[in-house]
Amino acid sequence: MSEISPTARALRALDLLQGRPGITASELAQRLGVTERAARRYVAILREADIPVESTRGPYGGYTLGRGLRLPPLVFSATEALGLVMAALDSQHAVADPSDPVGSALGKILRVLPTNVARQAVTLRETARTVPERSPARPDPAVTSELVAAVAAQRQVRIGYRTAAGNARTFEVDPWSVVVRYGRWYLLCHSHHAEALRTFRIDRISEVSQLEGSFEVPADLDPAAELEANLGKGWEHETHVVFHAPLQEVRPWVRPTLGDLSELPDGRCELVGSTSNAQAYAGEWLAGVPFAFTVVGGDELRAAVRVVADRLTQSLE
């Protein structure tokens, strides 16, 4: 295995300084896989190349890049370029379509790469096709951009929303965070109408208007945890399912968004939550769980399970 050159490590250090302002010598050394003394030497190499690396002492000190830095041009290997195209394809974007935001951005990157590096990536982009989505739910990039800007500015917004039933609604909210979970994009926010935390699927948001009001995000907010806890609650139809198996065996099959899973005294476990789509809950999820279960409630879920069971039974007749 060839040894990594000091120049290569110095460039890697520059990359880390760009991505983690305030990184300490210890953290830099750990990321580079070298001693702290060596990490400081790579910083010195950068300074000798007229790259302004500033250092601050103290418990909250570290390295940062100074103002006025002119970064070198992007340098990709063929493998990195192919990986970028594959990631874009996997995310279902029209990477060969110049009118698609991701396709346009990827095209700009490929046009400035050396020919021998770009050739394979261009070929892959032009010939490969994304796998059709079972349930297309890609958010509008313009809407998403406006929401991200409102989150960063802590500005209240009014959103136009299409419910699962197709009804148009309008909500005024404090946008706390944009969160991606399980392939879907969500807005985690405080709803003025409900005076409570709410989540909205961004692919169902049709428009965003910034309002004059501002807000403060709770200091202890964990967006991902709050989202998952909220997605399993507050929907129209209650769900209560008892699994005839131990909790540790059932847990890998249960997303937090499906409700609260807890252990019962007799060795079984129960899942209590809610859903807006009892048919999907029964047919797409419960039908795939490899354990015996009993639907204790609610009425909509029990009815949906009967429909699935009847359909499967009729397929044998």
The whole-number pLDDT of residue 1 equals 38
- The whole-number average pLDDT for the span 261-280 is 92
- Banded pLDDT at 94 (limits 50, 70, 90): low
Give the pair of three-digit tokens for residue 91: 């995310």
Which tokens in the block code for residue 203? 């692919």
- Provide the pLDDT for residue 2: 42
d(CA 177, CA 147): 9
60 has pLDDT over 80: no
Calpha distance 192→118 (Å, rounded): 50
Contact 227, 181 (CB under 8 A): yes
> Cα-Cα-Cα-Cα dihedral of 146, 151, 154, 156, to 10°?
60
**Cα-Cα-Cα-Cα dihedral sign, residues 125, 126, 129, 133:** positive
The count of other CB atoms within 10 Å of the CB of residue 68 is 6
- With pLDDT > 70 as the criterion, what percentage of the chain qualifies? 82
The dihedral through the CA atoms of 279, 267, 272, 303 has a sign that is positive
For range 64-68, the mean pLDDT: 75
Residue count of the chain: 317
Mean pLDDT, rounded, for 4-28 = 80
Share of the chain above pLDDT 90, in %: 32
Question: What is the mean predicted confidence (pLDDT) over 130-143?
Answer: 67
Q: What is the mean pLDDT of residues 38-59?
A: 83
Average pLDDT of the segment spanning 73-77: 66
Least confident of 218-232, 247-261, 292-306: 218-232
- Give the pTM: 0.56
**Angle value at C-alpha 231, between 225 and 235, nearest 5 degrees:** 155
CATH of domain 237-314: 3.30.70
111 close to 119: Cβ distance less than 8 angstroms: no
Nearby residues of 129 by Cβ (< 8 Å), 6 or more positions away: 89
Domain assignments of the chain as residue spans, ordered by start = 6-65, 78-127, 141-222, 237-314
| Residue 4 confidence class, pLDDT cut points 50, 70, 90 | low
CA atoms within 13 A on the CB side of 151: 18
Looking at residues 38-44, what average pLDDT do you find? Answer: 89
Locate all alpha helices (DSSP H) within 35-93, ordered by sequence: 36-48, 78-90
Average pLDDT of the residues in 15-28: 84
> Quick one: angle between helices 115-127 and 78-90, nearest 10?
20
CATH class of 6-65: mainly alpha
CB < 8 Å & 24+ apart, contacts of 73-76: 73/112, 74/109, 74/112, 76/109, 76/113, 76/117
Could you tell me whether strands 237-243 and 293-297 are parallel, antiparallel, or unpaired per DSSP bridges? Answer: antiparallel
> 186-240 pLDDT, tens per residue?
999 999 998 988 889 999 999 999 999 999 998 888 888 888 777 777 778 899 9
- The CATH architecture annotation of domain 141-222 reads Roll (2.30)
